[in-house]
């Protein structure tokens, strides 16, 4: 059973969801520098999915930022995270306090079919936005 596929997931308050649906494209992905923060809280993982947006490196080149909109694929993984104070604090400390916003986005499978919706950390300002990563994959960019 795929617990990540819930109808109208984005119309429900987070407090009513059985998990946190989170699309990750950078440091929280497997192989990313912050992945260890969420590993104990992953209930399910779907790899080889993407959203539409624009992936950029930060001006320091140390982390990625996704700009909403656009028609380019940003590759990543979709996690169902348990609702837990520790994981929420990690996301808050490492992402939201730093300047990311959380927004609902449609997630697509590698074949182009719609999969589900999930929360994505997006970057809404021009501050710290560096070079565009045209292939849309942060981990590939690092290698």
> Which CATH number fits the domain that encloses residue 61?
3.10.490.10
Closest CA to 72 of 108, 32, 46, 121: 108
The per-residue pLDDT for 94 is 82
- HSE-up (13 A, CA, CB side) for residue 60: 4
Tell me the average pLDDT of the chain.
89
What pTM, to 2 d.p., does this model score?
0.91
126, part of any domain: yes
pLDDT tens, position by position, 80-116: 999 888 888 888 888 888 889 999 999 999 999 998 8
Other residues' Cβ atoms within 10 Å of the Cβ of residue 30: 13
How many domains does the structure of the chain reveal? 1
**Among the ranges given (9-23, 46-60, 98-112), the one the predictor scored with the smallest mean pLDDT:** 9-23
Other residues' Cβ atoms within 10 Å of the Cβ of residue 53: 23
pLDDT tens, position by position, 18-31: 888 999 999 999 99
22, part of any domain: no
17, part of any domain: no
Provide mean pLDDT across the span 55-80: 93
Residue pair 76/50 in contact by the 8 Å Cβ criterion: yes
52, part of any domain: yes
Q: Name the helix (H) or strand (E) containing 99.
A: none
109, part of any domain: yes
- Return d(Cα 76, Cα 102) in angstroms, integer: 16
47, part of any domain: yes
78, part of any domain: yes
Q: Please determine, for residue 4, whether its predicted confidence score (pLDDT) is greater than 90.
A: no
Domain membership of residue 86 as a residue range: 28-142
């Amino acid at each position: 059973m795929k617990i990540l596929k819930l109808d109208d997931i984005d119309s429900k308050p987070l407090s009513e969801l059985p998990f946190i649906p989170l699309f990750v494209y950078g440091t929280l992905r497997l192989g990313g520098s912050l992945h260890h923060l969420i590993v104990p809280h992953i209930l399910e993982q779907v790899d080889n999915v993407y959203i539409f947006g624009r992936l950029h490196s930060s001006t320091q080149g140390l982390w990625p930022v996704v700009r909403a909109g656009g028609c380019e694929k940003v590759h990543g993984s979709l996690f169902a995270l348990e609702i837990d104070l520790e994981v929420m604090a990690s996301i808050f400390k490492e992402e939201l306090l730093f300047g990311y916003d959380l927004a609902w986005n449609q997630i697509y499978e590698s074949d182009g079919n719609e999969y589900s919706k999930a929360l994505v950390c997006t970057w809404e300002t021009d501050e710290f936005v560096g070079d565009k990563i045209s292939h849309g994959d942060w981990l590939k960019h690092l290698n």
